[in-house]
Chain A
Amino acid sequence: MTIDRTQNEREGVAYTGTPSEQELHDSGGYATQERQERGPVAFIECVECIPCNPCESACPYHAITVGPDITALPQLDGEKCIGCGLCIAVCPGLAIYVKSKHHSETHTTISFPYEYVPLPSKGDTVNLTDRNGDVVCQGRVLNVFTSRRNDRTAVVQAEFDKRYCSEVVSMKLPRSDERERGR
Chain B
Amino acid sequence: MTAVDIAVVGAGPAGLSAAIEGARSGASVLLLDENDKPGGQLFKQIHKFFGSREHRAGTRGIDIGTQLLSEARELSIDIWLNAEVCGVYDNNELAVVVNHSTSKTVRAGAIVLATGATENAVSFPGWTLPGVMSAGAAQTMVNIHRVLPGHRVLMIGSGNVGVIVSYQLLQAGADVAAIVEAAPSLGGYGVHTAKVRRAGVPFYTSHTVLKAEGADRVESAVIVELDKDWNHVPETEKTLAVDTICIAAGLTPLVELGRSAGCHVVFEPTLGGWIPAHDSYMETSVPAVFVAGDIAGVEEASTAMEEGRLAGIGAAAVLGYYGADERNALSQVVWNRLDALRSGPYGRKRREAKEVLLRAGENAT
Chain A residues in contact with chain B, CB under 8 A? Answer: 1, 3-5, 7-8, 10, 13-19, 45-54, 57, 69-71, 90-95, 115-117, 129-134, 151-153, 169-170, 172-173, 175-176, 179
Contacts and interface: CB of A to CB of B under 8 A. Distances in A.
B193 A70 contact: no
Contacts of A17: 158, 179, 186, 190, 193-194, 196-197, 201, 203
Interface in B36-53: 47-53
Given A52-B57, A70-B343, A176-B200, A15 B50 contact: no
Contacts of A57: 53
A23 B194 CA distance: 13
B349 interface: no
Q: Is the interface of A mostly helix, strand, loop or mixed?
A: loop
A132 B198 contact: yes
Given A14-B186, A92-B50, A176-B200, A51 B194 contact: no
Given A50-B346, A52-B57, A70-B343, A133 B48 contact: no
A175 B199 contact: no
A173 B55 CA distance: 32
Contacts of A93: 50, 189, 191-192, 194-195
A95 B195 CA distance: 8
Choose among A1, A10, A19, A170 the residue with the greatest number of B CB atoms under 10 Å from its CB: A1
A7 B206 contact: yes
Nearest to B48: A92
Nearest to B49: A92
B48 A7 contact: no
Nearest to B163: A17
28 contacts: A1-B177, A4-B238, A7-B207, A7-B225, A13-B193, A15-B184, A17-B186, A17-B190, A17-B196, A18-B198, A47-B190, A50-B50, A50-B189, A50-B190, A50-B191, A50-B344, A51-B340, A51-B342, A51-B343, A54-B53, A57-B53, A93-B191, A93-B194, A94-B195, A95-B191, A117-B171, A132-B197, A170-B198
